[in-house]
Amino acid sequence: MHSSTLETLCAVPIALVVGIAIITDLRSRRIPNTLTFPALGAALIIRFAFQGWPGLGLALGGAAVAPAVLLLVHLGRGIGMGDLKLAAALGAFFGPVPALVAMLASAILGGLLALALLMQRGQLLAELFGLFLIGLPFLKTANPPATDSQAVTTMPYGVAIGIGSLTTLAGYTWLGASLPSFVQIAARL
């Protein structure tokens, strides 16, 4: 087995899953189970086929670490189940340590995306004052936007997860620490 084969078998599905998740999250604010569950299954099969039981263990570890990081960062609020399932699927491809890096990058990007959306909606100043001066409800806008569209009230966090994952993948490649060799080193520990 060549590590470049395993690296490609992990990088290509990561890119495909991320691309589809970003598009569906931007369009409908949903990440479908028909994307996340097969991706998780593929990651488990690929890792087991190329690395055996240690690879399967690392895939399961990554599938547990990635959503756990997102839940801890967000304290269980504001993150959808589709986002968590996407994180689990990507974490299974990455393994535990790269999944941790990818989800921390996603959290940072998610914060920047939230700030950009608040600035676009003209609510940034109200949110900042509300953060420091708790209990002043008059700072919030009295009349929310007239639409009931979910697209107005939610943030497409799958975009942040996708960009954070692709950034992590590119970073590991750029640094020369390919994911499979990194995973094999972690398996020896």
Task: Report residue 111's pLDDT band, with 50, 70 and 90 as the boundaries.
Answer: confident
Nearest-angstrom CA–CA distance, 22 and 27 = 9
Quick check: pTM over 0.85? no
Going by C-alpha positions, the residue among 157, 156, 170 that lies closest to residue 15 is 170
Contact 44, 36 (CB under 8 A): no
Residue-wise pLDDT tens digits, 28-62? 999 999 999 999 999 999 999 998 999 999 999 99
Going by C-alpha positions, the residue among 73, 85, 71 that lies closest to residue 37 is 85
